[in-house]
């Protein structure tokens, strides 16, 4: 943490831990507190505890955090912060440490003076994790004393006990998620690793260690350590490597969010337009803002925003301020130096953000988040603060670096011309009645119901499969749109080409919500958009092309959970009049055994068109028995990387990705 970021060491004692309410409802309604009880909610438990340690780092009292995934399914988080005050709480009448772990909305972040800046503003972290754990043990080192306590399903089973003097300080929390609560109990190493790496980027100089002992228990800490230095001199990662898997990662990035932007562009294998990320920062009494940005030669933007280290995927006032300030700088500079001559013409926001990778991070004393999940920042003063910062600092950068400014402004000019060409193509298409209000593509077999929440649109590969699907469907609520040929790869195309694509225009027309600056989720005609393609390589390619289109140009449909992939069977297994369907090679073998083995035949479907309407309905389209896979984006940066690799111009990264991951594929799965 720099001198300008350093927070004064305010008085931090038992009376700074304030109690707001009880903990009764957590186990009954866990989704209200952690979002879900699937793997996403499972990972959220780790993040809640880590966020508390991050808050200690923001207070300038912690510089190392260690997260361990243990072989018994438990997780531990240890920091070298101040620990928790352990005297008797003046209002609760029980040890303050116990208050933090057993009472909802208890913590040092509600104006008591313990923290100036905190991500855990709802204060539910420690107590909710405790309530949703089969057991939790803590070791708390504070003010020269070490204490331990054990809980089971939120209740104290071993009271807080002082075990002696210590020279250490900090908190160790180990918990095991409760199988009575969670449907999944297996932590994904990559998911946790990505989250912790992100936090290390956002907190320059903070060291975060992740160790996985589940498959490497015998190694303990004595395994071979291989030091791997990133190309950036300020970023390093240490790993234990065994059987091509990672067991240990250590993250520390002195470059902070500048290193983050470097990392994002390197993962996308993008060609950058200027050597170093542009970085600027400013601090006031109530807000600290940091921005790092770098352009590449691609067409998609990646804007990552954070408030008090919390990712805000829905943006908010800090994102609005950045976008507004960026447009002002570009338009003022371009008009001053003759890039824009028409007084009525300005760059749009999309023009100036084409190919931009940017991280915006703000820290506030009183952050206002919209909703429990904290996905959108609401502080109105942040918009003007960030806007002014961008206008001043980026404006200065352009004046001091005219060569870079020229390259970036000329890219924006190219984007503007493509946008104008797209507008003309769109208007020309409208004149042909393709995008007129109410106009629908000729091949669309629409459904009878007009209630969006009850309807679904199948995007089906090929006319043959489209015909079968039309015969198989329930026309009350299921619409069919056959797609002919592989659609345009939008990763390599601007909007003007999209509006001239005979494969994409019918999709835009059928959905009704537009794309780009015309996108309006309220005009969406169907609640579910289901991609239904053959279960082979060509079908997978078509699904990837469609997913790329939705991710890049109708991202809100993905974010709101409207996109699904159908799961047609791979095999028909039959003996006489008995038949079964199998969705994998393993299931095929199970069905063969189920029908008696001898005389059983298994036929591989070559495509959807090979099934008759009854088979397609009962395996793939009937809501009572079908399997739909909802497309979600848990990690936008990772999704952006994958789409860039798989659909981008560069062949070598794609080959490396396929070679690395092909061995894990037993069936094409989205």
Count how many Cα atoms sit within 13 Å of the Cα of residue 287 in the half-sphere of its side chain.
Answer: 22
Q: How many CB atoms lie within 10 A of CB 179?
A: 11
Banded model confidence at residue 430, pLDDT cuts 50, 70, 90 = low
**What was the pLDDT predicted at 369?**
86
Banded model confidence at residue 319, pLDDT cuts 50, 70, 90 = very high
- Which of 474, 536, 556, 589 is catalytic? The answer is 536
Domain coordinates of the chain in residue numbers? 17-211, 257-425, 437-568+616-664, 571-604
Cα 363 from Cα 107, distance rounded (Å) = 19
pLDDT exceeds 80 at position 57: yes
CA distance readout (Å), 419 to 412, 416, 499, 504, 644:
10, 5, 11, 17, 22
> What token pair was written down for 75?
């997780």
> What token pair was written down for 50?
């880590």
Strands 478-483 and 106-107: unpaired
Which CATH architecture best describes the domain 17-211? 2-Layer Sandwich (3.30)
pLDDT mean over 306-313: 89
CATH topology of domain 257-425: Ribosomal Protein S5; domain 2 (3.30.230)
Cα 379 from Cα 117, distance rounded (Å) = 14
* Contact of 512 with 481, CB cutoff 8 Å: no
> What token pair was written down for 101?
């772990």
3-state helix, strand, coil in the chain (%, to 5): 35, 25, 40
* Contact of 83 with 143, CB cutoff 8 Å: yes
pLDDT exceeds 80 at position 431: no
Cα 604 from Cα 581, distance rounded (Å) = 10
**What was the pLDDT predicted at 467?**
92
Strand ranges, E, within 221-355:
225-229, 235-242, 245-246, 248-253, 278-283, 287-295, 302-307, 310-311
CA triplet 508, 512, 513: central angle to 5 degrees? Answer: 90
Helix (H) or strand (E) holding 216: none
> What token pair was written down for 393?
């600092």
Q: Show the DSSP H helices in 432-536 as ranges.
A: 463-472, 495-498, 505-511
- Nearest one of 8, 123, 118, 197 to 363, comparing CA atoms: 118
Q: Is the pTM of this model over 0.85?
A: no
Q: What is the CA radius of gyration of the chain?
A: 28
**What was the pLDDT predicted at 161?**
95
**What was the pLDDT predicted at 583?**
87
Banded model confidence at residue 412, pLDDT cuts 50, 70, 90 = very high
Q: How many CB atoms lie within 10 A of CB 659?
A: 9
Active site residue 461: yes
How much of the chain, in percent, has pLDDT values that exceed 70? Answer: 81
Cα 452 from Cα 524, distance rounded (Å) = 7
Banded model confidence at residue 32, pLDDT cuts 50, 70, 90 = confident
Count how many Cα atoms sit within 13 Å of the Cα of residue 356 in the half-sphere of its side chain.
Answer: 24
Cα 630 from Cα 529, distance rounded (Å) = 10
Banded model confidence at residue 112, pLDDT cuts 50, 70, 90 = very low
- Nearest one of 546, 595, 591, 536 to 568, comparing CA atoms: 536
**What was the pLDDT predicted at 92?**
84
Q: How many CB atoms lie within 10 A of CB 366?
A: 11
DSSP string for 236-254 = EEEEEEETTEE-EEEEEET
- pLDDT tens, position by position, 168-201: 999 999 999 999 999 999 999 988 999 999 999 9
Q: What is the DSSP letter of 27?
A: T
Banded model confidence at residue 124, pLDDT cuts 50, 70, 90 = low
| Contacts with 565 (C-beta within 8 Å, 6 or more apart), sequence order | 530, 531, 532, 543, 628, 629, 631, 670
Axis-axis angle for helices 402-431, 380-400 (nearest 10): 120
Active site residue 285: no
SS3 600: coil
- pLDDT tens, position by position, 505-539: 899 999 999 887 788 999 999 999 999 988 777 78
Cα 421 from Cα 418, distance rounded (Å) = 5
**What was the pLDDT predicted at 660?**
54
Banded model confidence at residue 71, pLDDT cuts 50, 70, 90 = very high
Cα 138 from Cα 52, distance rounded (Å) = 14
Active site residue 79: no
Banded model confidence at residue 229, pLDDT cuts 50, 70, 90 = very low
Cα 280 from Cα 293, distance rounded (Å) = 9
- Which of 351, 534, 587, 641 is catalytic? The answer is 534
The least confident of 73-77, 95-99, 336-340, 542-546 is: 542-546
How much of the chain, in percent, has pLDDT values that exceed 90? Answer: 51
Across-strand partners of 76? Answer: 68, 174
pLDDT exceeds 90 at position 445: yes
Cα 609 from Cα 603, distance rounded (Å) = 14
- Torsions phi, psi for 247 (to 5 deg): -115, -15
**What was the pLDDT predicted at 379?**
93
**What was the pLDDT predicted at 635?**
57
Banded model confidence at residue 270, pLDDT cuts 50, 70, 90 = confident
Banded model confidence at residue 67, pLDDT cuts 50, 70, 90 = very high
pLDDT exceeds 90 at position 657: no
- pLDDT tens, position by position, 599-637: 899 988 877 878 889 989 999 999 998 989 888 776 555
Domain 437-568+616-664 part of CATH 3.40.50.720: no
pLDDT mean over 8-15: 58
Across-strand partners of 296? Answer: 272
Helix (H) or strand (E) holding 105: none
* Contact of 316 with 370, CB cutoff 8 Å: yes
- Which of 134, 211, 461, 640 is catalytic? The answer is 461
**What was the pLDDT predicted at 234?**
39
CA triplet 348, 353, 356: central angle to 5 degrees? Answer: 175
Active site residue 585: no
- Mean of the per-residue pLDDT values for the chain? 83
Cα 322 from Cα 382, distance rounded (Å) = 10
More confident residue, 371 or 222: 371
**What was the pLDDT predicted at 518?**
82
**What was the pLDDT predicted at 213?**
92
Helix (H) or strand (E) holding 572: strand 571-575
pLDDT exceeds 60 at position 245: no
Burial 581-598 (b: 16+ CB within 10 A, else e): bbbeeebbeebbeebeee
Cα 536 from Cα 570, distance rounded (Å) = 9
């Amino acid at each position: 943490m720099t001198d300008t970021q350093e927070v004064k060491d305010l008085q931090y004692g038992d009376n700074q831990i304030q109690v707001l309410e009880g903990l009764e409802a957590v186990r009954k309604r866990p989704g209200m507190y952690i979002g879900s009880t699937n793997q996403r909610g499972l990972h959220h438990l780790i993040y809640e505890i880590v966020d508390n340690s991050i808050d200690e780092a923001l207070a300038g009292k912690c510089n190392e955090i260690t997260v361990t995934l243990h072989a018994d399914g438990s997780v531990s988080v240890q920091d070298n912060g101040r620990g928790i005050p352990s005297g008797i709480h003046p209002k609760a009448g029980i040890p303050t440490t116990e208050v933090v772990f057993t009472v909802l909305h208890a913590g040092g972040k509600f104006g008591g003076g313990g923290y100036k800046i905190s991500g855990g503003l709802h204060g539910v972290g420690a107590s909710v994790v405790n309530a949703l754990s089969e057991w939790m043990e803590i070791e708390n080192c504070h003010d020269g004393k070490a204490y331990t306590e054990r809980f089971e399903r939120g209740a104290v089973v071993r009271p807080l006990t002082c075990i002696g003097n210590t020279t250490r300080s900090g908190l160790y929390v180990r918990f095991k998620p409760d199988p009575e609560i969670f449907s999944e109990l297996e932590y994904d190493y990559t998911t946790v690793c990505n989250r912790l790496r992100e936090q290390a980027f956002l907190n320059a100089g903070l060291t975060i260690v992740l160790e996985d002992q589940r498959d490497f228990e015998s190694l303990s800490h004595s395994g071979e350590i291989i030091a791997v230095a990133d190309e950036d001199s300020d970023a390093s990662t240490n790993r234990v490597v065994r059987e091509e898997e990672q067991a240990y990662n250590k993250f520390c990035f002195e470059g902070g969010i500048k290193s983050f932007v470097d990392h994002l562009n390197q993962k996308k294998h993008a060609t950058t337009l200027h050597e170093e990320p542009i970085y600027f920062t400013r601090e006031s009494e109530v807000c600290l803002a940091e921005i790092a940005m770098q352009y590449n030669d691609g067409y998609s933007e990646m804007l990552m925003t954070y408030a008090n280290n919390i990712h805000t995927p829905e943006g908010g006032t800090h994102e609005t301020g950045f976008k507004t300030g960026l447009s002002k700088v570009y338009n003022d500079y371009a008009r001053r130096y003759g890039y824009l001559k028409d007084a009525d013409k300005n760059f749009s926001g999309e023009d100036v953000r084409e190919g931009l990778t940017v991280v915006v991070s703000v820290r506030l004393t009183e952050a206002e988040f919209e909703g429990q999940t904290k996905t959108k920042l609401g502080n109105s003063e942040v918009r003007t603060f960030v806007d002014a910062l961008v206008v001043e600092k980026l404006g200065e950068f352009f004046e001091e670096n005219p060569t870079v400014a020229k390259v970036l402004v000329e890219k924006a000019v190219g984007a503007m011309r493509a946008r104008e060409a797209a507008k003309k193509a769109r208007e020309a298409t409208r004149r042909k009645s393709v995008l007129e209000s109410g106009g629908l593509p000729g091949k669309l077999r629409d459904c009878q119901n007009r209630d969006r929440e009850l309807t679904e649109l199948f995007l089906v590969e090929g006319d043959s499969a489209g015909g079968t699907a039309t015969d198989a469907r329930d026309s009350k609520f299921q619409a069919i749109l056959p797609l002919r040929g592989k659609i345009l790869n939008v990763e390599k195309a601007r909007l003007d080409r999209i509006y001239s694509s005979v494969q994409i225009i019918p999709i835009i027309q059928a959905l009704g919500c537009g794309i780009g600056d015309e996108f309006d989720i309220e005009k969406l005609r169907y609640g579910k958009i289901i991609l239904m393609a053959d279960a082979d390589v060509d079908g997978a390619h078509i699904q990837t092309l469609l997913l790329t289109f939705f991710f890049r140009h109708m991202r809100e449909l993905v974010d709101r959970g409207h996109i699904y992939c159908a799961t047609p069977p791979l095999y028909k297994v039959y003996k006489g009049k008995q038949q079964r369907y199998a969705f994998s090679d393993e299931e095929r073998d199970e069905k063969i055994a189920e029908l008696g083995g001898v005389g059983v035949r298994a036929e591989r479907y070559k495509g959807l068109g090979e099934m008759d309407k009854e088979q397609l309905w009962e395996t793939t389209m009937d809501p009572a028995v079908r399997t739909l896979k909802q497309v979600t984006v848990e990690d936008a940066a990772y999704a952006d990387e994958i789409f860039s690799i798989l659909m981008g111009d560069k062949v070598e990264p794609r080959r490396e990705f396929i070679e690395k991951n092909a061995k894990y594929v037993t069936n094409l799965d989205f």
